[in-house]
Amino acid sequence: MFTFHLFPAYLRADIQSSTTYPGMIAIWMFETFFFPFTQLFVWDTILSTNPSIPLSRSSLISYYLLFPLIAMFTGAWQGIFFADDIRTGAVNRLLIKPISPFLSMFTNNLAEKIIKIFFLLPMVTIGFIIFPQDLHLQLSNMFLFFIALIMAFFINFSLETLMGMAGFWLDEVTSLSNLRDILDYTFGGIIVPIYLYSGIFKTIADLLPFRYSVAFPFEIFTNSLSFPELIIGFSIQLGWILLFTLLSVCLWHKGIQKYSAYGG
Amino acid sequence: MQITRISLARAMIYKANFLSQVLIEIGWSSVTLVSIELIFTNITTMVGWDKGELLFIYSIYRFSQAIYAIFFRKGIRELPSAVNLGNLDQILTKPVNSVFLIVTKYVALDRFSQIIIAFLILLYAQANHPFIWSPLNVSLYCLFCLLGAFIRFSLAFSIHLPVFWIQKLANLERLEITFFGFSRYPRKVFPPFFQAIFSFFLPVLFTAAIPAEILTSRTPLYWTVLVILVTLVLFIFSLKFFNFALRHYSSASS
């Protein structure tokens, strides 16, 4: 169902719905900004006492100040909620509407991002005032950066959708969501900048999709990648998007066949 | 004891949930352990603390978090819904201290695995940097873990109290998690301004970082009195804040 003409109306409705809880969104954005900000201080101190580390202070500061923005733009979170809708029967209302459930999730995600940017941008601005940085913006990088950002979003969106599909078979997907978060924190470059991964950790991080959610767009932004590395990175992003999307579509069709609508 | 028995029975009903909680706790501990390993593949010390000492701080953090999670966390996290749904009446009308009833309503025995994980982290710390376990150090270690749990309780409880004024704040626990992230690192990692904020305004550093400094003789022993004082002041503040917040509570009928 590609009912794109309903997209503006749904987006408007989701934006209105998202403004109902501004306090909660402010807290989420504070968390999104403050955790990397904490890590910035940790690594700034480490760098000042260990000059042999292959990471410049400028790159470190840019990494952790832009991290919250990139994470917010590429973030998705509908998995648990969709699985819960399946369990309680609330998904029925999505099935009878003239809009794809996936498009509905997308408009919800986009609407929240539009609201979140108003909370996050001032915090990031304060971060850049405390740590002034010349970001060395280049037009050629910006185009590839936005492509990588969009693809990173679709990695997360398709993964969350896939997790949501588990709701047709599992009563509870919180454990799956926790596992995803654990892997994201471990291999996504949140606590330790991705540049400093080595050995088995680097190998695993390069294979999993999480480093392509935030770290890869950032590496493009700072012109840290060679042309072959760019090609490989975009290919891996595309591969994960296709894999998660195909699995989601398969599980959706199988799930709908066995789904018995009740409640809702 | 009654509450503990009921909580144990409740935890055992959902065995799969119990097991998944244990695995999740192991997973989240692994995140920090892997991060520490990655940090120390690039450095040998962090502001004078080696890997074993950093793990030592983390062990105190985990023990205090475990005690808090078992005895206090679930009750505190249910406070927002109790206020919004008017269920607080059932607690306020009982002839028992309300704060005691709110926070001890559950004994989350499914979190007991956190104690075991904390102990394993301590063993790993010991393997990397042998500590001297005199009777005094053992006593102080246990005391600091307990005090850390009470500091955590006081701060977390206070953080959740704005729900009496702003009902639509169901994710206040995220603030709790965000602020306590500071306490896993040595105090001197942060600039003086942040050290001051997180020592005396939001004293999260007193849960693990400062106790570790005392135990490793980086800070004089008499700072133990300061840790006790901070715990008491915070505890009394949280109770007073709760009593003040109650004046703004109006039942939604029950």
Residue ranges of chain B with per-residue pLDDT less than 50: none
By the 8 A CB rule, do A98 and A25 touch? no
A72 pLDDT band (50/70/90 cuts)?
Answer: very high
Measured CA to CA in angstroms, residue A150 lies from A193, A213, A238 at distances of 21, 9, 11
CA dist B243 and A82 (Å) reads: 39
Q: Is residue A83 part of a domain?
A: yes
A76 pLDDT band (50/70/90 cuts)?
Answer: very high
Burial class (CB in 10 A: 0-12, 13-18, 19+), A31: middle
CA dist A120 and A72 (Å) reads: 9
Residue A176 has pLDDT above 90, yes or no: no
Residue B20 confidence (pLDDT): 79
CA dist A31 and A254 (Å) reads: 37
B39 contact residues in A (CB cutoff 8 A): 46, 192
The residue among B105 and A48 whose pLDDT is bigger is A48
DSSP letter at B104? T
Domains identified in chain A, total number: 1
Q: Is B164 on the interface with A (CB under 8 A)?
A: no
CA dist A112 and A119 (Å) reads: 11
Q: State the residue for tokens 């606590």.
A: A191
Q: Is residue A134 part of a domain?
A: yes
- Per the structure block, which two tokens stand in for B221? 């022993």
Closest alpha carbon within chain B to A38: B182
By the 8 A CB rule, do B101 and B94 touch? yes
B32 contact residues in A (CB cutoff 8 A): 191
Closest alpha carbon within chain A to B18: A175
For A199, phi and psi rounded to 5 degrees?
A: 60, -135
Report the residue from A24, A50, A172 with minimal CB separation from B42.
A50
CA dist A211 and A192 (Å) reads: 12
For the packed helices B223-246 and B135-160, what is the interaxial angle rounded to 10 degrees?
20
A21 pLDDT band (50/70/90 cuts)?
Answer: confident
Q: Is residue A93 part of a domain?
A: yes
Among candidate residues A92, A145, A112, A93, the one with its CA nearest the CA of residue A15: A112
Tell me the one-letter amino acid at A213. Answer: S
Q: For the segment A92-137, what is each residue's pLDDT rounded down to a tens digit?
A: 887 787 777 888 889 899 999 999 999 999 999 998 898 887 766 6
Range of the domain at A100: 4-258
Q: State the residue for tokens 């330790």.
A: A192
Interface mutation target, options A17, A19, A38, chain B, most CBs of B under 10 Å: A38
Residue A20 confidence (pLDDT): 84
B173 contact residues in A (CB cutoff 8 A): none
Q: Is residue A136 part of a domain?
A: yes
Q: Is residue A254 part of a domain?
A: yes
Interface mutation target, options A50, A182, A208, A210, chain B, most CBs of B under 10 Å: A182
Residue range A192-221: mean pLDDT, rounded: 89
Quote the minimal CA–CA distance from A71 to chain B in Å: 16
By the 8 A CB rule, do A238 and A151 touch? yes
SS3 B46: strand
Residue A237 confidence (pLDDT): 96
Q: State the residue for tokens 């059932």.
A: B90
Q: Is residue A149 part of a domain?
A: yes
Residues B216-242 as b or e (16 or more Cβ within 10 Å = b): bebbeeeebebbeebbeebbeebbebb
Q: Do B24 and A178 touch (CB under 8 A)?
A: yes
Q: For the segment B53-78, what is each residue's pLDDT rounded down to a tens digit?
A: 999 999 999 999 999 999 998 888 88
Tell me the one-letter amino acid at B144. Answer: F
Q: Is residue A264 part of a domain?
A: no
For the whole model, what pTM was predicted? 0.87
Interface mutation target, options A32, A191, A208, chain B, most CBs of B under 10 Å: A191
Q: Do A198 and B41 touch (CB under 8 A)?
A: yes
Q: What is the four-CA torsion angle of A99, A101, A106, A112, rounded to 10 degrees?
A: 100
Among candidate residues A44, A48, A80, the one with its CA nearest the CA of residue A63: A44
Residue A137 confidence (pLDDT): 66
CA dist A173 and A178 (Å) reads: 9
B178 contact residues in A (CB cutoff 8 A): 30-31, 34-35
Residue range A136-160: mean pLDDT, rounded: 88
SS3 A19: coil
Q: What is the four-CA torsion angle of A31, A34, A35, A37, rounded to 10 degrees?
A: 160
Residue B5 confidence (pLDDT): 60
SS3 B49: strand
